[in-house]
Amino acid sequence: MAIFAITPFRISVIIPTYNRARELDRCLNSLVLQTYKNFEVIVCDDGSTDGSKKVVDNFMGRLDLTYIFCENFGGPARPRNLGIRTATSPYIAFLDSDDWWAPEKLNICVSKLANGNIDFIYHDMWIARTSYKGRYGYLKAFEPRKGMFNLLLTTGVSIPNSSVIVLRNLLLDIGGVSENRRLISVEDYDTWVKVALVTDRFCRISRPLGYYEVGATNISVASVQQIERINYLYKGYHSQLTTKDLKKSEDFLSYRSAYIYACSHDFSLARSFYLKAIISSIPFEYRLKSIYRYIFALFKRK
């Protein structure tokens, strides 16, 4: 195996996985194809029973690869924390096992990191839909601005987990990823909020450098449970918001709840929350979307 230097821009890629052997193979293969080579890979297996270990074994020698098998936790938080503690690099890159990267992903990100004072970098993603092979949508990440903590809680910020590279020391400073089970599937967003309390040095690359798969195995699928998780996350930070920003946060929750209810085909509740969003203080573009989607929901039944 090649010996890699511990440089300021060496990356530790952390991959939590659970029973995704096929997807994991695709994911790891995208790392073999990276044009930037100074990185390690830590696969944290949350108790898989589908032969995922054999997939990892096939990449030993092709990647600087560590495999950690642990008792099933039921979400990616604990496996990610194991990876963070095991990592030997200054920067952590998160990659879910059902997602994968373009070959130039790390090279472009490291070039950005080397050119400026950046603690947290992320980028746009292509959306790969499991049910439509070969068809992709586009996930546009939010452009960072001053006051990221407030923006994360009061606007429609999108920061795809599998696009993020962040200083390892920052993750250690905030205590890692929350293992609170009420945050399962939104623990990544909670992590970004906590990081934003420490630093405003976020950077977005406005081009897709990876693929985010949307399919049946996603634990963040639209559901009433997902709305409960998001509400719980937001409420955890209410005491740190001004009265004005708290109102914005609650108003934007109406929009997010309406969208999730619509995605889960509960159009009655979707209409109710879209009405709240329409008369709220959220940005005009989201109120306009609410009007359009409210009209659409009028023609739908549960």
What CA–CA distance (Å, rounded) separates 45 from 151? 33
Structure tokens at 191: 């992590």
Q: Which residues does 74 contact at the CB level (< 8 Å), separation at least 6?
A: 46, 181, 184
**In this structure, are residues 185 and 191 in contact, taking their beta carbons and an 8 Å threshold?**
no
Domain ranges of the chain: 11-214, 224-298
Greatest pairwise CA separation for the chain in angstroms: 61
For the entire predicted model, the pTM comes to 0.91
Average pLDDT of the segment spanning 196-217:
91
Q: What is the pLDDT of residue 223?
A: 78
Average pLDDT of the segment spanning 119-129:
95
* SS3 annotation, the chain: CCCCCCCCCCEEEEEEECCCHHHHHHHHHHHHCCCCCCEEEEEEECCCCCCHHHHHHCCECCECEEEEECCCCCCCHHHHHHHHHHCCCCEEEECCCCCEECCCHHHHHHHHHHHCCCCEEEEEEEEEECCCCCCEEEECCCCCCCCHHHHHHHCCCCCCHHHCEEEHHHHHHCCCCCCCHHHCCCHHHHHHHHHHCCCCCEEEEEEEEEEEEECCCCCCCCCHHHHHHHHHHHHCCHHHCCHHHHHHHHHHHHHHHHHHHHHCCCHHHHHHHHHHHHCCCCCHHHHHHHHHHHHHHHCCCC
Neighbours of 81 (CB within 10 A): 21
Lookup result for tokens 């503690």: 85
* Position 218 pLDDT exceeds 70: no
Neighbours of 181 (CB within 10 A): 12
Report residue 88: phi and psi, to 5°. -115, 5
What CA–CA distance (Å, rounded) separates 277 from 248? 10
Average pLDDT of the segment spanning 289-301:
90
**In this structure, are residues 53 and 141 in contact, taking their beta carbons and an 8 Å threshold?**
no
* Position 1 pLDDT exceeds 50: no
The fold for domain 11-214 equals Spore Coat Polysaccharide Biosynthesis Protein SpsA; Chain A (3.90.550)
Q: What is the pLDDT of residue 115?
A: 86
Q: What is the pLDDT of residue 2?
A: 43
pLDDT in tens, 162-186: 999 999 999 999 999 999 999 999 9
Better-scored residue on pLDDT, 135 or 292: 292
Q: What is the pLDDT of residue 156?
A: 81
Question: pLDDT grade, residue 258 (50/70/90)?
Answer: very high
* Position 108 pLDDT exceeds 90: yes
* Position 6 pLDDT exceeds 60: no
Better-scored residue on pLDDT, 105 or 219: 105
Q: What is the pLDDT of residue 76?
A: 96
Question: pLDDT grade, residue 3 (50/70/90)?
Answer: very low
Average pLDDT of the segment spanning 40-61:
97
Average pLDDT of the segment spanning 76-92:
97
Percent of the chain with pLDDT over 90: 84
pLDDT in tens, 279-291: 998 989 999 999 9
